Amino acid sequence: MFDLLPVMAWSSFADGTCEFLNKAHSTYTGLSREASRRWGWQTAIHPQDLGHRMEKWRESLASGRPSEAEVRIRRHDGVYRWFLLRVEPFFDASGAIVRWYGAGTDIEDRKHAEANWSASEEKLSLIFNTVPMLVWSCLPDGSADFFNDQWCDYTGTSIADSEGWGWTVALHPDDFRHAMEGWCAVLLSDGNGPPAFELRLRRADGMYRWFWLQTTAALDHTGAIERWYVTMTDIHDRKMAEDGERRSQALLTEAKRLAGLGIFSFREGADSMAWCNALYNMFEFPLDTPVTRELIEQRTHPDDASLSFGHVFDARNGRNFEERVRILMPGGATKFIQYCAYATVTLSGETEYIGTVQDVTEQHLAAEELILARNELAQAAKASSLGVLTASIAHEINQPLSGIVMNANTCLRMLNTAPTNVEGAVEAAQRIIRDGNRAADVVSRLRKLFSQKAITASPWSLPCATGDIIGLLQGDLRKCRISVDESYPADLPQVRGDRIQVQQVIQNLLRNAIDAIKAASDGPRRIRVVGAHRDGFVSLSVGDSGVGFANADPEDVFKTFFTTKRDGMGIGLSISRWIIEAHGGKLIAQKGDGRGAIFTFSIPGEQSPNPAIAPLSGSHKS
């Protein structure tokens, strides 16, 4: 019977000497029954385990109680395997031990499984405590029973504090309700419900940070939820960055809306541009239409074709663009848009243009109205000051003139009477001379009015003074689509004189040039301003591509009251010449090359041999 048992089994006498070992023992150990009997079996026990085995055996023998021992037993091929040895006493009717019976069960595989289990448990806890997230678990009813080290470090609480529902103390008060609802939804789900939500968790120092709470259900073998595993990932920095990004995106969109701004980008050589929605709206193109050059040019006002926004497609060599053009909307309205494209270099070395397009229709119309109003005002001021001047000159001169006419009549009458009243005629002639002198005085007084102080101003730069005036006229120039080229030699000396008066001359020349270009219906629309110096004189010529003088003598334009304009006065150029000559210089007009006119004035430069400039009156006139 013993031999039929699939485990090792033996019997020993009451003193512990082995009486009999079964077949399983001899098959396993390879020891014969004879060799194992009495104490022979000891040779198969691992030397390190024999002491322990004998100790347990002696304890049982002394106490008469059963015992167990785990020992390694050598197999016939020399390999040791773990066995659990159990011994039980067998009593006779009087209660004395007559035999001991023992059995050994192979526990090698269980031992390995245990070793593996404790190793994997160690590994698991290492993972739990080193993952960069808070990990905890809870029972199906939601009460927590495990927290990793990170949880305890972050919240500054112990596992005991957090167990059950203690962990909810760390929730942000504003998130409490939402977090509890989320948590209950998880618990009520069958593991396939809403598994994640965001909440704020208090750090040990009292600061709250945003976390992403995720749950996973662990199921038992029947498929019921056995435990929930929860991970909480710190998303605070990402969330703050996202919030910041969202805020700045919203701000940018709002700013773009307020400024009527659209944004585009374009890669050199590409067939289409990337546009933002605002830009699609501005051009009234259907969203998502590829924006090609043809599409943009369909909208562009024919007169602005040369400046069209579509020219960005010709972009080369990282050139920046800035233009104002008109676009014609499908409904017939005209919009003024200002576009800028700035070249940037991408990481892959390609040139990319990033640009803005602004709807400046309102500003443009307002600026045009302003220019109109300013021109009307200037015209009115010119007319009224001229009127006042004329009235006062007329008044001053009228008196001596009527005196002269009256005295001349008297003189004639006296000479025609018989006898001739020579004495009376002489007196009348003397009065004529007196009144004539008075009239001459008036004129010379008027001149003195314009020449109260000699021009002793400090030297100034002609290009700067010209630049100021071009700036002033920018609105008119843009409105009439006229470009101005300026060129000055680097060594242009400064000039001395009345800056304001010379600027009046420059303004007058530029205004006339604009008028002449406006009067020409076709051809280029350009003004060339060129500075030069020679023999101590600094000159400035203003050449235009306007109507020119036709067959007229250019010198005629300097005659007072000469004008070919419907609303002209014909005094601007005569005053300009007067001002320039008062500075010791010259103002001349010439026909332009091919078309237009060129007006040039020269005045003494700072290094001129005779920088002292005459006052506006006196004998300077050539």
Binding site for ligand ADP (CB under 6 A): 508, 512-513, 516, 544, 546-549, 557, 562-565, 568-573, 597
- What single-letter DSSP state applies at residue 169? G
Which lies closer to ligand ADP via its Cβ, residue 275 or residue 549? 549
Smallest distance, ligand ADP to C-beta of residue 447, A: 20
- What's the min distance (Å) between Cβ of 541 and ligand ADP? 11
Tell me if the bond preceding 290 is cis, omega within 30° of 0: no
Minimum Å gap between C-beta 482 and ligand ADP is 12
Cβ proximity to ligand ADP, 291 vs 516, nearer residue: 516
603 in Cβ contact with 495 (< 8 Å)? yes
User: For residues 143 and 305, what is the distance between their CA atoms, to the nearest angstrom?
Assistant: 75
In terms of CB distance, is 98 or 386 closer to ligand ADP? Answer: 386
DSSP class of residue 38?
B
- Answer whether 297's CB lies under 8 Å from 308's CB: yes
Query: Considering the complex, what minimum distance in angstroms separates the CB of residue 547 from ligand ADP?
Result: 6
| Closer to ligand ADP by Cβ: residue 383 or 440 | 383
Tell me which residue has tokens 């120092």: 205
Could you tell me the smallest distance in angstroms from the CB atom of residue 478 to ligand ADP? 19
CB of 560 to ligand ADP, least distance (A): 8
Shorter beta-carbon distance to ligand ADP: residue 453 or 566: 566
Residue 228 backbone phi and psi in degrees, to 5: -105, 135
Rounded CA gap, 522 and 519, in Å? 9
149 vs 486 by CB, closer to ligand ADP: 486
Pick between residue 249 and residue 385 the one whose CB is nearest to ligand ADP. 385
Task: Find the shortest distance in angstroms from Cβ 502 to ligand ADP.
Answer: 16
Pair 48, 71: CB distance under 8 Å: no
Q: Are strands 526-534 and 483-487 parallel, antiparallel or unpaired?
A: parallel
Task: Count Cα atoms within 13 angstroms, Cβ side, for 459.
Answer: 14
Question: Taking Cα atoms as reference points, which of 613, 610, 602, 605 lies closest to residue 494?
Answer: 605
CB of 572 to ligand ADP, least distance (A): 3
Q: Which is nearer to ligand ADP, 140 or 554 (CB)?
A: 554
The nearer residue to ligand ADP, 374 or 565, going by C-beta atoms, is: 565
Q: Which residues of 276-285 are buried (b: 16+ CB within 10 A; e: fewer)?
A: bebbbebbeb
- Residue with Cβ nearer ligand ADP (549 or 601): 549
C-beta of 41 vs 549, nearer to ligand ADP: 549
Distance CA 378, CA 303 (A): 30
Write down the least CB distance from residue 559 to ligand ADP, Å: 8
In whole angstroms, give the CA distance from residue 437 to residue 383. Answer: 29
Q: Which amino acid is at 502?
A: V
Residue 582 CB, nearest distance to ligand ADP (Å)?
Answer: 17
- Which C-beta is closer to ligand ADP: that of 265 or that of 563? 563
Q: How far is the CB of 512 from ligand ADP (least distance, A)?
A: 3
Strands (E), 62-194: 67-74, 80-91, 97-106, 134-138, 144-147
Beta bridge partners of 601: 540, 587
Pick 213 or 513: Cβ nearer ligand ADP: 513
Owner of token pair 């009156």:
617
- Say if CB 312 and CB 292 are below 8 A apart: no
- Around 445, how many Cα atoms within 13 Å sit in the side-chain half-sphere? 10
**C-beta of 279 vs 589, nearer to ligand ADP:** 589
In angstroms, give the least distance from the CB of 545 to ligand ADP: 10
388 φψ region: left (φ > 0), alpha (ψ -120 to 50), beta (else): alpha
What distances in angstroms separate CA 605 from CA 40, 224, 345, one per listed residue? 133, 103, 47
Cα separation, 33 vs 206, whole angstroms = 76
Q: Which two tokens stand for residue 24?
A: 């399983």
Fill in the amino acid letter for 71.
V
Is the Cβ of residue 459 or residue 570 nearer to ligand ADP in the bound state?
570
DSSP character string of 110-147: HHHHHHHHHHHHHHHHHHHHHSSSEEEEE-TTS-EEEE
- Find the DSSP H helices in 480-618: 499-519, 572-582
Check: CB of residue 579 under 8 Å from CB of residue 601: no
In angstroms, give the least distance from the CB of 596 to ligand ADP: 7
Nearest to 73 by CA among 38, 100, 118, 36: 36
- Residue 564 Cβ, how far from ligand ADP at the closest point, in Å? 3
Taking the complex as a whole, the smallest distance from the CB of residue 562 to ligand ADP amounts, in Å, to 5
Kindly report the backbone phi and psi dihedral angles of residue 49, in degrees, each rounded to the nearest multiple of 5, phi listed first: -100, -10
**Which of 432, 425, 438 lies closest to 406 in space, CA to CA?**
432
DSSP 8-class letter at 523: S
- CB of 275 vs ligand ADP, minimal distance in Å: 43
Alpha carbon of residue 263 to chain centroid:
11
Is the C-alpha dihedral spanning 18, 23, 24, 30 positive or negative?
positive
- Please identify, using beta-carbon distances, which residue of 448 and 565 lies nearer to ligand ADP: 565
